[in-house]
Chain A
Amino acid sequence: MSTVATRPAGALAALARTEIRGYARSPLFLLGAAGLAAMAVVDWMSTDDGSSSTMSAIAPAALLGVVGMFVMSILTVRSDRAAAVAGAVATDERTRTGALAIAIVVPATAALLWYAQAVALLFVRPPADWAVPYGPMDTTQVLFVMAALGVASAIGGPVLGLLAARWIPGRGVIAVGAVLVIAITIVLQGNFSSTWGWKAAWPWTYWYGPMGWRSEGDEVHWVVTPGTPIAWLGYLLALCALGVLVALYHDRTARGARLRGWIVGLLVLAAVLLALTLTLGPSAAVINPAVAPA
């Protein structure tokens, strides 16, 4: 990372190029991307259990999203250090934050590549009758769920890393933050039926799968949880954009009425999209009667 003392627009482009290179060359990102590619190859080579690629979005969420929180945190600290060393001629924080946000194009591209192969696998090897598509969860909605869980999480992780590094700077904060995010996500992923009506407020949750409680020996049935994932994808992207704007807002010189207006506007948009997510689609869980393998 280096700082550039040029006109703001030129500085943003130059810094963005540098941050994109930094992200793409980050050993953590490369490790995650390699792991994701290996898992995709295994998915194609191995015998399908009947769910095809409908449940594979956990891989990009973990390997690009969770890892991205750390990568972005490291890049932000590095950017700040470089600016501090450069002194008064350094580019302002807003421009550096913007450049870091643009660098998220790297995990987003990797996630889109994963998504393309996951969609191809879904059509080449359609899921069994006991899985999805089923009932209200048609193929289009399945594709939206896969995009939300796989691609939006790969964008959201680095945004969260940027947000944390800007507002709660400190060594170890991102590690504790990532652990807490994962813990809450596992609780709200859909295993507790009491959360099915509102769990979509959290940015990562399953919409279908063998969810809920069973005793040993009970039949396994896939469940489609209430709401619509189409509005949910919009909600998640609105949250990502909101995260970037709130990170930009950390720079005191950037706190104009225009930025505040955008933040409020996105907050309202996210709230509307969440309301649509929770109210459209089925109002109660739908259970696929076909028995899935235990």
Chain B
Amino acid sequence: MIAYLRQAIPWQVPLCGGLVTGLLVALVAWDPWTLWPLQAIAVGVLAAAAGWCFDEPAAAVVDVAPRGLAWRSAARALPVLALAGFWCGAVAIARQAFFGYPWHVAGQGVAAMALAAVWATWRRSAGHARPGARLTVLVVPACAAWGLLRPAERALPIFPYAPTPGPWQSSAILWAAAAGVALLGGALTLRRRW
């Protein structure tokens, strides 16, 4: 697996994702009241980087090789786990900036990565070679627009702002449900392909 990890994983993607999210967390920590939209963008970048780790440009070759999608996906999940660890560490270090809800913010990033990883694996199982790249062009602008505009702040608090408990609790439920869907979807996808 080490040889596979060294050769098949696009390491520049989780590295770049970590660098960008680290920069965004540092900026939010500097002035959370003003720079809060960057928190939503950081979640989008994490999802994009996670999805991208599952891209297999040589899909036509590797899909017919003896190593199954489940094995390859498990190997490709390792850099995603490393990125999730980095994200949680960065949020923990800057925890004073997150209006008293640092673990809610950390959970958003982890759930977004899980969703992206499962979606990319599901698309890979359908034969698409680069689902992560396609996901990037959707999830980054979507999170950026949502973070900047904060539409339906009360009805759909995906990225809550300011220390008001109600939206944070609703948001935690939304993200936990998303993570649950991701786990279930991942299990079903890989069960078919093991």
Interface residues of A (CB under 8 A from B): 28, 31-32, 35, 38-39, 42, 58-59, 62-63, 66-67, 69-70, 73-74, 171-172, 174-176, 178-179, 182-183, 186-187, 191
Q: Known contacts A28-B141, A70-B137, A70-B140; is A179 also within 8 Å of B149 by CB?
A: no
Q: Hey, which chain A residues are within 8 Å of B41, CB to CB? A: 179, 182-183
Q: Is B35 within 8 A of A187, CB to CB? A: yes
We find that the number of chain B residues with CB closer than 8 angstroms to chain A is 27
Q: Is B23 within 8 A of A175, CB to CB? A: no
Give the residue of B20, B37, B138 whose beta carbon is less than 8 angstroms from that of A28: B138
In the assembled complex, the Cα of A73 lies from the Cα of B38 at a distance in Å of: 22
Q: Is B38 within 8 A of A176, CB to CB? A: no
In the assembled complex, the Cα of A32 lies from the Cα of B38 at a distance in Å of: 19
Q: Hey, which chain B residues are within 8 Å of A28, CB to CB? A: 137-138, 141
Q: Known contacts A39-B149, A178-B140, A178-B141; is A172 also within 8 Å of B35 by CB?
A: no
Q: Hey, which chain B residues are within 8 Å of A176, CB to CB? A: 16, 20
Interface residue? B60 (CB, 8 A): no
In the assembled complex, the Cα of A253 lies from the Cα of B136 at a distance in Å of: 33
Across the interface, name the chain A residue whose C-beta is closest to B142: A31
Q: Hey, which chain B residues are within 8 Å of A58, CB to CB? A: 148-149
Q: Hey, which chain B residues are within 8 Å of A38, CB to CB? A: 151
In the assembled complex, the Cα of A107 lies from the Cα of B163 at a distance in Å of: 37
Tell me what chain A mostly uses at the interface: helix, strand, loop, or mixed. Answer: helix
Of the candidates A63, A69, A182, the one having the most CB atoms from chain B within 10 angstroms of its own CB is: A182
In the assembled complex, the Cα of A172 lies from the Cα of B139 at a distance in Å of: 12
B135 to chain A, nearest CB (A): 10
Q: Hey, which chain B residues are within 8 Å of A67, CB to CB? A: 141, 145
Q: Is B27 within 8 A of A187, CB to CB? A: yes
Residue pairs across A and B with Cβ atoms less than 8 A apart, 24 shown, are: A35-B145, A35-B149, A58-B148, A58-B149, A59-B149, A62-B149, A63-B149, A66-B145, A73-B137, A172-B48, A172-B52, A172-B133, A174-B137, A175-B137, A175-B140, A176-B16, A178-B141, A179-B41, A182-B37, A182-B38, A182-B41, A183-B24, A187-B35, A191-B31
In the assembled complex, the Cα of A74 lies from the Cα of B138 at a distance in Å of: 11
Q: Is A70 within 8 A of B13, CB to CB? A: no
Across the interface, name the chain B residue whose C-beta is closest to A64: B145
Interface positions of B from 135 to 180, Cβ below 8 Å from A: 136-138, 140-142, 144-145, 148-149, 151
